[in-house]
Each structure stands twice: as C-alpha cells, then as structure tokens.
Structure 1
Amino acid sequence: MSIFDSNLPTFFVMEERAEFSEFLRVTNTTENPYIVFTLKGSVIACGGLTIQKGKRKASLSWGIVDRAFHRKGLGTRLTQDRLT
C-alpha cells in the first residue's frame, strides 16, 4: 500500500485506502486485467481494466504511480498498456 500512501493527500484521501485495498482483494485478474510495474522488487506503478462484457464496456481502474516516479512517463505507459 506504500504506492497509495505516496500519493496522499494530493491525489487520494485516506478514506479511499480501504476501497483500494478491497478492490485489490476481490478483483478477478483473469477477467479484469491488473498491470503492475516493479523496480527492484517494489511496485512503482499499477492499474487495472474493468471489463463489463454484458454491456460491452470497459473502464480504467485505480491507476497509480508512486510519487517518486511521477513525471517519468510511467502513467502514460500504464494507460497505453491498459488500452492495447
């Protein structure tokens, strides 16, 4: 959860931490892909794709880049990877 905490309070509020934790716990990554970028064993960026097959709809979910890695193109790369 350090990646989430690194973005407090600028991009998230503490009340969202439990929601993010629950999302990670219950998400079926077979049906809803979740991408994780790591560096030396630490998560530096992550984000998911929520797919609603019945509605033929998809949305990006919980895209986060560790604050120490902002402005290095990881957010763009994460978005591109989820859209392709």
Structure 2
Amino acid sequence: VALGTDSRASNPDLNLWAEVQWVAAAHPHVAPQQVLEMATNHGALALGLPQAGVLRVGALACVVVLPLEGPLPEDPYEGLVQAVGPPRALL
C-alpha cells in the first residue's frame, strides 16, 4: 500500500504530510512506522523508483525537516507522524 496525493478526493490541499497524519489517526491499528513507509519507500516503489524513498548509501537524496514540539514519544516514528505542521525544508 502506498500513500500519495493524486487528487483532491481525500485531501483538499494535496499535502502528503496531511495524508500521512490522516491515515495514522483514522487507522490507529497501523503502526506509525508502517504509515511512514507507505508515504516514502512504498510510494517510490509504486512509481518504479527503488532508489528513492529510503535513507541508505547510493539512494537518491531527498530529506524533509519536520517541526516537532513538546516531549516526544518513545517511538520515533510516532513522533514523526505527530509533527505539528508540514515539512519546513526540503534538502
């Protein structure tokens, strides 16, 4: 399963990060790590880009900076899903 924003049917502003947060809230039985994988490496694989959507040597570099506030949960993936806003930078 991959997440994306190909239309405004499910997300009015085509914001992938809002889609990630909606899926995490609507499906609490799905682990935050799995939700993030749906938006990153699963999406890249769906597009036929196996060298994208992952952090590893030789992969295509594209990293976002997310705003986080307050005490972070023990699970770092949960902290990312709970980011308080859209990415602020694309590196």
Smaller-chain TM-score bracket: under 0.3
Considering fraction of residues, name the structure with more strand.
1
TM-score, normalized by length of structure 1? 0.27
TM-score, normalized by length of structure 2? 0.26
Considering fraction of residues, name the structure with more helix.
1
